[in-house]
Amino acid sequence: MNLLLFDVDGVLVYDHAYRAGVIAVLNYFGSLMGLAAPVIDEPAIEAFHAHSYTNEWDMVPFGVGVMLIETLARAPHARLAASPPIEFLRQIRADYPDRFPYEQYLDQTDHVRGKPSAKAQAVLLSASDRLIGDDHARQLAQALVRELLANPYDLAHAITTQIFQEHALGSTVYEETYGLPPHFDLPGLLQTEDQPALLPTGKAAIDALAQSGRAHVCVYTARPSLPPADAPDDLTLRAAGYSPEAEMAVQLVDLQAYPLIASGRMLWLSRLVNRPVETLTKPAPVQALAAMAAALSKQESASLIAAYQLMARGELAEPFASLRSEPLHVWVFEDALPGLHASRGAIELMRQHDIDAHLHGIGIAAGGPKVEALKSVCEIIVPDVNVAIEHVNRAITG
């Protein structure tokens, strides 16, 4: 039995919108400190991805923290007063003509344990300890680092996430989605910048494998989304904050026929089981398990619950209980490590319950640091998803 799990950004879709959003938002925060744009470039964004900072909600506050520490290092005599983040940054002024050394900070995160935001916070606080100058200014800077990275997924309180989402969605949709007042008057980058990476030939090959029964398919992404399409209409779970960004990508590449396991689905599950959403999403195995179950059953909400039961209590509910009858081959199309690590964890959990499961990591990268990062976990690395589909199609059909 074969399962095909497709990541979205960098795989099915060229995520120009999110990259443009990272650049625009970091330029905005840089401008508060008087820094000239651009404050980040494409190689730096690739480095973030290569070090498993693939979610912009983690990436942006980390980037702001790097700019803060590096700029303060050039302003040792700054006199700062406690204030909210935007007003605080406006107090800082220093010339920074060079490129910010994001890679140096990212390299340090490889030696720190924890979730991405916690690793970033630890590295930034360590760097801030070496700042010379006013002790009070250093303490205020450290307080801001803690605030920025305490929980970037708490959109109600995370200013960097708010501003990023407004750039991605546009000011009107942002206000409608989150019930928060907009900071700007912006169009949505997702509507104007994203481009399909999946070609019609690749889409046709996916459909042929699915329709013949040779493979089962699920789209598996960290993008924000709506709750499960088949979830009961429970108003306590359908709270404000679900953003249809994954659905927009799926529509762009015409894969609406297949189940979708995205961050909104995981948020729905986290509210159902009362667990922090970041403990369930990539690189945690629950999201990967749910994607595998949804590919098999075509049922999103039941698959999410079954995945959580397997991870939390070791209960082998359907469709997992039926997988002991034949070998299971899971083909994961990814451009970054978190989804592959999650899939590997899911495979290990199934093997513990006597399921003969095998992971096939299919890396999507045209070059750069991503290729090096993917080599250790992928059986093949190809430049785009269409080449990857040809490879898997040959492997499945002979």
- pLDDT tens digits for range 99-138: 999 999 999 999 999 999 999 999 999 999 998 878 898 9
In whole angstroms, how far apart are CA 196 and each of 45, 249, 253? Answer: 20, 8, 6
What mean pLDDT do residues 22-28 have?
Answer: 97
DSSP string, 80-118: -----HHHHHTT------SPP-HHHHHHHHTTS-S-HHH
Say how many Å lie between the first and final Cα of the chain, rounded. Answer: 14
2-10+194-397 belongs to CATH 3.40.50.1000: yes
What mean pLDDT do residues 338-355 have?
Answer: 94
Compute the distance between CA of residue 308 and CA of residue 271 in angstroms, rounded to an integer: 12
Q: What is the mean pLDDT of the chain?
A: 93
Higher-scoring residue by pLDDT: 368, 214:
214
Q: Please, which pLDDT band fits residue 367 given cuts at 50, 70 and 90?
A: confident
- pLDDT of res. 235: 45
Compute the distance between CA of residue 190 and CA of residue 195 in angstroms, rounded to an integer: 9
What mean pLDDT do residues 356-385 have?
Answer: 93
- pLDDT of res. 278: 83
What is the separation of C-alpha 371 from the centre of its chain, rounded to a whole number of angstroms?
A: 18
| Strand runs labelled E in 90-229 | 195-196, 216-220
| The model's pTM | 0.84
Give the pLDDT confidence of 262-319 residue by residue, as tens digits.
999 999 999 999 998 888 988 889 999 999 999 999 999 999 999 999 999 999 999 9
Query: What ranges do the domains of the chain cover?
Result: 2-10+194-397, 15-191
Which of 149-163, 215-229, 362-376, 379-393 is least confident?
A: 362-376
H-assigned helices in 243-363: 245-252, 263-273, 285-297, 300-313, 337-352
Using a pLDDT cut of 90, give the percent of the chain over it: 80
DSSP tag of 333: E
Give the pLDDT confidence of 221-251 residue by residue, as tens digits.
999 999 998 987 654 454 556 899 999 999 9
Within the chain, how many helices (H) and strands (E) appear? 18, 8
Give the pLDDT confidence of 169-202 residue by residue, as tens digits.
999 999 988 999 999 999 999 999 999 999 999 9
Is the Cβ–Cβ distance between 73 and 105 less than 8 Å? no
Compute the distance between CA of residue 187 and CA of residue 168 in angstroms, rounded to an integer: 8
Compute the distance between CA of residue 145 and CA of residue 190 in angstroms, rounded to an integer: 28
What mean pLDDT do residues 201-227 have?
Answer: 96
- pLDDT of res. 73: 92
Q: Please, which pLDDT band fits residue 376 given cuts at 50, 70 and 90?
A: confident
